[in-house]
Chains A and B, each alone.
Chain A
Amino acid sequence: MPPCKTRGIVVRSRDYTETSRLVNFLTPDSGLVKTLAKGALRPASPLRGKLELPNYGHLVYYPSRTSDLHVLAQFDLIEHFPRAVATLERSAFFHYLAELASAAAFGPELGGGLFQLLLHSLRRAEQLNALPQGRIWFEIRYLYLLGVLPPLAACAGCGGPMAGTVRFSPAESSWLCPKCAAGRETVAVEPGVIAAVRYIQDNRLERVMNLRLSPRQFRTIRGLLRYLVDSSVEKKLKSRQFLDQVVRP
C-alpha cells in the first residue's frame, strides 16, 4: 500500500520495545492515527526526540491492512510547544486535553474539529494563566463538537425561556424550566451558572481567562461538565486524576 501523508499532534507516545515506540497522532483528516515507530529509540534514529507529546508535525506512515496500528516512516516537526509543558500544572492540563481529544477522535469529521481545538489550545498555552477556566472552556467546546452539550437558549421541554432557577436532567442531558421539570429526576442549577456557561461558550479563551466565578458556581459547572464528559467518552480518563491533584481551583 502507498504511504499516507498528513499532519498530526502527538497525543500519546510510549516505549514498545527497547528501540521502538507506540505513537498516537491526532490528525485533521483521519482522526486518531495509531503508529509503531520502529527504531525510534536508537541513538541515530531521525525520529529520536521528536515523538513527544504535544509536538505537531508532518507524518508519513504505511497503513496496515489487518489492524489499526500503522508503521510510522517519517515525522518532521512543524511546531513544538515548550510553554505547554513548562510547568507541572500546564503539563497535567495538556495531558488531559490530549487524552480527552483522542478519546473521541473517531473518523475524519469529528477528528478534524478536535484537532483544531487542541491545536488552538496549544498555541495559546502562554495565555493559560487560569487553568480551571481554561479547562471549562475546552470541555464546553469539546462537548459542543461531540453534539452532547445541551442547548442553553431554551427549555428542552416547552421551548420557553429559562428564567429563575433552572434544572438539569441527567437522564435526558437537557436543561428544563421548573414547570417542565416537575415529576422528573433533575438537579437545581442557579441562573448564574447558565449565564456563565453561555459566556464561556460564546467567548474566546483570552476573555474567559478573566472570568470570575464563585466557588459554588465553579463546583456546579465542573460537576455538570464532568458528568457530560464521562457519559460521552465512556472510558476512564486516567490523566484527569493527575490534573485534579496538581491544579485546584
Chain B
Amino acid sequence: MARYPLLMQRALDALTELPGIGPRSAQRILFHILRERREETQTLLDSLAAVKARIRFCPICGNLTSHQTCSICRDPSRDRGLICVVEDPKDVIALEQAGKFPGVYHVLMGKIVPLDGIGHEDIRVKELLDRAAKNAPREVIIATGSDIDGETTALYLSRELKAAGVKVTRIAAGIPVGSSLDFMDPVTLMKALEGRREY
C-alpha cells in the first residue's frame, strides 16, 4: 500500500488534531500548501507563529489582545460603569459586530457545568467580583448562553453580584428576528412572553 513520506504523514497527523479537520480535509489542506508558492505558505506560517507568540488574554477583561490590555479596555470613550459578562472571547466579537454596546466586557472563559464538575472556581468569576468591588459599576449585564449551563452561570453570578450591591441585568431571550411563531418551540415562546416590554 502506498504511503506518504514521513514528513507529510507527520503534517497530516498534526492537522487532524485540529477541531473539525478529518483525514480528508487534512489531505486537502496539505496538498493545497504543497501547490502554493513558498512566500504564501511562509506568510501563513509567520502569521500563525505571531498569533501563538503574541496573542494573550487582557488582564482586565480576559479578551484577546496583542498589547498589554485589549483595545476595548484601552478605549477612553467606553463606559466603564457598564460591564457585559460573556463566556468566550468569540462572544465579544459577536457583540462588537452588533455595534451598539458602549460599555466594557468581562470574559469568563467558560461557564459553570455542574455535570462536568466545572464550578465557579474554574472560570473567571473571582476576577469579575474583584472588578465589581473595585470599580463599582452602574450595571452588570449577564450575556451568557441561554442553555441550561449558561442559565446556571447567570444565576450564580446574579446571586454573587447582588450580594455585593451591584445592579444585575440579563440579556433578553426569545424569537430570532425574521422568524415566525409557528416554528418556535414552547420554551422559547414562554421566554419571549416573559421578556416582553412595553411597545
Given A92-B114, A95-B115, A238-B115, the answer on whether A246 and B156 have CB atoms closer than 8 Å is: yes
Number of interface residues of B (CB under 8 A): 23
- In the bound assembly, the distance between CA atoms of A31 and B112 in angstroms comes to 27
With an 8 A cutoff between CB atoms, is B44 at the interface? no
CB pair B155–A99 under 8 Å, yes or no, is no
With an 8 A cutoff between CB atoms, is B20 at the interface? yes
Interface residues in B116-134 by Cβ distance below 8 A to A read 116-117, 119-120
With an 8 A cutoff between CB atoms, is A205 at the interface? no
B149 to chain A: closest residue by CB: A14
CB pair B117–A95 under 8 Å, yes or no, is no
CB pair A242–B155 under 8 Å, yes or no, is no
Interface residues in B55-78 by Cβ distance below 8 A to A read none
- Which of B151, B152, B185, B188 is packed against the most chain A CB atoms within 10 Å? B185
Given A50-B187, A88-B155, A246-B156, the answer on whether A238 and B148 have CB atoms closer than 8 Å is: no
Contact partner of B114 (CB less than 8 A), chosen from A49, A82, A238, is: A238
CB pair A77–B115 under 8 Å, yes or no, is no
- Point out the residues of chain B lying under 8 angstroms from A80, CB to CB: 186-187, 190
- In the bound assembly, the distance between CA atoms of A181 and B116 in angstroms comes to 40
Instruction: Determine how close the nearest CB of chain B comes to the CB of A95; give it in whole angstroms.
Output: 4
B155 to chain A: closest residue by CB: A88
- Point out the residues of chain A lying under 8 angstroms from B187, CB to CB: 49-50, 52, 55, 77, 80, 82
Spell out B's residues near A (CB within 8 Å).
Answer: 20, 112-117, 119-120, 147-148, 151-152, 155-156, 158-159, 176, 185-188, 190
A-B contacts besides A242-B117, A245-B119, 8 pairs, CB < 8 Å: A48-B185, A50-B187, A53-B148, A80-B187, A92-B114, A99-B114, A241-B119, A245-B120
